[in-house]
Amino acid sequence: MRFPIARSPWCQALALAACPVAFWRGDNDAARRVVAALLTEADRYRLGHWRSYGECYERLILAYDRKAEANGDSTVPPPVIHSKGLIRDTLATIDPDVLGPQALLPGGNGWCTAEIVRIEGERILKKRGPDAESQAESIFLRSMETADAQNALAWRLRTSMSLATLWHSQHRTAQACDMVASVYSQFTEGLETRDLRRASF
């Protein structure tokens, strides 16, 4: 019984830190390595809880592979990953589409609240309903307020890009660029990560 207990922190570090960070960075090769390590360690010590995390991440990689095979065709739906709890929150911050288009996203005052709120705004825009733009703008601003309150600069960056895209479509391009540049300038490292690469253009 000692070994599973001793190894749980290693699986926990892989599942809750190394794996999501690799996906957030946009480093799919690193993601494959750390997901494989998580599955190996979980199997070795029969840690079913952590294996379930690895399986979710593995399905996420499969979703990316299928998208690549389809040459980025956005009409090809990703496989839906059924999950709950912390892993579901984490998957939502990596790629909410894998939770299914009708999935109700987690809420509350957790670590990813600002990002979940931003995703809600994006979904409203995609539906193109009445007053979608004004609703989405209000939601994006609420997301940024939440990110500020939690000192979550990464979530603020994502929301600034969502809001900037909306403003650009409304011919408010200068305001959009100034906002993203202001957030981007606060980063001193990680400039090669996926979100920061997008923000630099």
Task: Please give the Cα distance from 159 to 141 (Å, whole number).
Answer: 8
Structure tokens at 196: 């920061």
Exposed e or buried b per residue across 180-192, where buried means at least 16 C-beta atoms within 10 angstroms of its C-beta: beebbeebeeeee
Q: Set out the domains of the chain in order of their start, with CATH numbers.
A: 1-94 (no CATH), 107-201 (1.25.40)
- Reduce the DSSP state of residue 123 to 3 states and report it: helix
pTM of the model: 0.88
Chain mean pLDDT for the chain = 90
Q: List the single range of 20-34, 72-86, 136-150 with lowest mean pLDDT.
A: 72-86
Computed over its alpha carbons, how large is the radius of gyration of the chain?
18
Q: What is the pLDDT of residues 120-175, one digit of tens each?
A: 999 999 999 899 999 999 999 999 999 999 999 999 999 999 999 999 999 999 99
